[in-house]
Chains A and B, each alone.
Chain A
């Protein structure tokens, strides 16, 4: 399966990844080969097979009592933020 440059650009857009001009042909080649490689799955007979999302069958999602268990540590967490002001995360203007 050969992916086009446009397809690579569209995947990069979906993935929110800026690619350089040099990177596009590299991923065009390697992603095409990876898709060929995983294309072998097509030959497996999986009629009536339930897709397996999780390795421990029968494990149900746990529920917990609706109680506050965490303390407010936003100041600590925001030490890792690229840009904050007054306890808020700053991003480029979204609404003009």
Chain B
């Protein structure tokens, strides 16, 4: 067997261009791995094998003709939150179980244009609401490092698929940590760009002032390559920002000597597992050995980020998810008595427990008499947290801390208590509230489970964040570890 799956996305793109192997060969190998892994991992909701092989054949023809883009013939998977023309797009929900998107999300179209070949749609928490991938209508995803554990969420399928080397790169979205937290728990690299950097058009909306698309890959170099092809202005997204996209690949090697690193004091709290802390502190020493200076930075309002998030995100979700009314698309109940009965039963049947909880929380905090006390108050505290970040970036280039408080936890361990589940995202939510780019990279192992290191930068500093993470990966090999059974 050719074992192409062990190569990184960057290596695969190069190998295809050199014609060391064909896209058909590569896609065939990975489709077989996906099929074999599916009963244990459940990382995919849909596998599009015939379309993938057809696209691979077209890619091979383009490569033979010396044509093609940066990713021609490279297999990728999309989180099932991205609309894919002619392919079922479920968002992990019964509500969209039979929804076949009539158009491509901008991210999907851009990656297609770059030549990437989609192998399927990955499993996720329903409407991206969850931190363990257990709220999916299609069943939980399991962590390839230990099948009794969760992969994290909401992009758990994308993360597990990349960790198990089923796919070299996958798209994902991050509203409160949904790229970085599963990246940390699965031992891979997860990049959430600046809010507005990657188009949200065709990306099913959860919380519109927080949602941002990004990448899950084995390495930072792969993230740079994929992000370069995904990012950019899109007139169809009203919050897309019209600034040029730097070539993240060519800026990867910029040295980090002299880089001013801020250690996020608030992240080293009593909730942080001591072994996770040890890994993160060792990683900080690596940065120092590379010539970076590390100083402690305090963001006093940051501990309020989880309560702010659990007002703002449900509020935005409750209005975004109002569109699922059983009229134009999505689930419709049987034999509705009247219009109101149709709305109520279609939504009651179509949404799962956590989605209903968030819709109701959002409805409550936006309702007359509570709007000021909850919603406006949360937006004010959000401004305080944002101001903390602005102040911090006056004295440091990037902020570093853990991605999660603990390594992966057992399935079912936190499903009965929403607050415990919400606190998984305690270190990741801040970057969403302030709209900042942030990456999680593997920085060690605790009892055989990966630990994530988080690097956060100011708005539109993706190149800086990626080069800092890349410098770390050049001198460490945590990101090259593969779970037993998937090597």
The contact string, 1 if C-beta is below 8 Å from chain B, for chain A 81-96, is: 1110000010111100
A12-B360, A17-B344, A92-B341 known; A56+B241 contact, CB < 8 A? yes
Whole-angstrom distance between the Cβ of B36 and the nearest chain A Cβ: 33
Say yes or no for B361: interface residue by CB 8 A criterion.
yes
A30/B357 in contact, CB under 8 A: yes
A5 CA to B45 CA, complexed, in Å: 37
Say yes or no for A68: interface residue by CB 8 A criterion.
no
Chain B facing A: main interface SS: helix
Whole-angstrom distance between the Cβ of A44 and the nearest chain B Cβ: 5
A12-B360, A34-B418, A56-B241 known; A82+B326 contact, CB < 8 A? yes
Say yes or no for A21: interface residue by CB 8 A criterion.
no
> For residue B99, which residue of chain A has the nearest CB?
A80
Q: How large is the interface on B (under 10, 10 to 19, 20 to 34, 35 or more residues)?
A: 35 or more
A34 CA to B419 CA, complexed, in Å: 7
A53 CA to B306 CA, complexed, in Å: 16
> Could you say which residues of chain B place their CB within 8 Å of the CB of A42?
373, 377
B377/A41 in contact, CB under 8 A: yes
A27/B360 in contact, CB under 8 A: yes
Whole-angstrom distance between the Cβ of A7 and the nearest chain B Cβ: 8
The contact string, 1 if C-beta is below 8 Å from chain B, for chain A 10-40, is: 0110111111100100110011011101111
> Could you say which residues of chain B place their CB within 8 Å of the CB of A39?
307
Contact among B238, B341, B380, B422 for A51, CB-based, below 8 A:
B380
Contact among B339, B348, B374 for A91, CB-based, below 8 A:
B339
> Could you say which residues of chain A place their CB within 8 Å of the CB of B386?
52, 55
Say yes or no for B434: interface residue by CB 8 A criterion.
yes
A89 CA to B339 CA, complexed, in Å: 13
A15/B434 in contact, CB under 8 A: no
> For residue B378, which residue of chain A has the nearest CB?
A41
A51/B379 in contact, CB under 8 A: yes
> Could you say which residues of chain A place their CB within 8 Å of the CB of B195?
55-56
A55 CA to B351 CA, complexed, in Å: 29
B209/A82 in contact, CB under 8 A: no
Q: How many residues of A contact B (CB 8 A)?
A: 52
A15/B360 in contact, CB under 8 A: yes
> Could you say which residues of chain A place their CB within 8 Å of the CB of B361?
31, 34-35
Residues 422-448 (chain B) with a chain A CB within 8 angstroms: 422, 432-436
A81/B328 in contact, CB under 8 A: yes
State which of B120-128, B329-337, B399-407, B472-480 sits at the interface with chain A.
Answer: B329-337
A92 CA to B376 CA, complexed, in Å: 37
A16/B418 in contact, CB under 8 A: no
A41/B381 in contact, CB under 8 A: yes
Whole-angstrom distance between the Cβ of A24 and the nearest chain B Cβ: 11
A82 CA to B331 CA, complexed, in Å: 7
> For residue B344, which residue of chain A has the nearest CB?
A18
A93 CA to B339 CA, complexed, in Å: 7
The contact string, 1 if C-beta is below 8 Å from chain A, for chain B 431-468, is: 01111100000000000000000000001000000000
Residues 218-245 (chain B) with a chain A CB within 8 angstroms: 235, 238-239, 241
B380/A77 in contact, CB under 8 A: no
> Could you say which residues of chain B place their CB within 8 Å of the CB of A77?
102, 328-329
A5 CA to B382 CA, complexed, in Å: 31
B367/A81 in contact, CB under 8 A: no
Say yes or no for B347: interface residue by CB 8 A criterion.
yes
Say yes or no for B414: interface residue by CB 8 A criterion.
no
> Could you say which residues of chain A place their CB within 8 Å of the CB of B70?
none
A8 CA to B374 CA, complexed, in Å: 17
B380/A50 in contact, CB under 8 A: yes
B348/A55 in contact, CB under 8 A: no
Interface residues of A (CB under 8 A from B): 8, 11-12, 14-20, 23, 26-27, 30-31, 33-35, 37-42, 44, 46, 49-56, 59, 61-62, 64, 73, 76-83, 89, 91-94
Between A and B, 10 residue pairs with Cβ closer than 8 Å are A14-B367, A34-B419, A37-B307, A46-B384, A51-B380, A80-B100, A80-B328, A81-B327, A92-B342, A94-B339
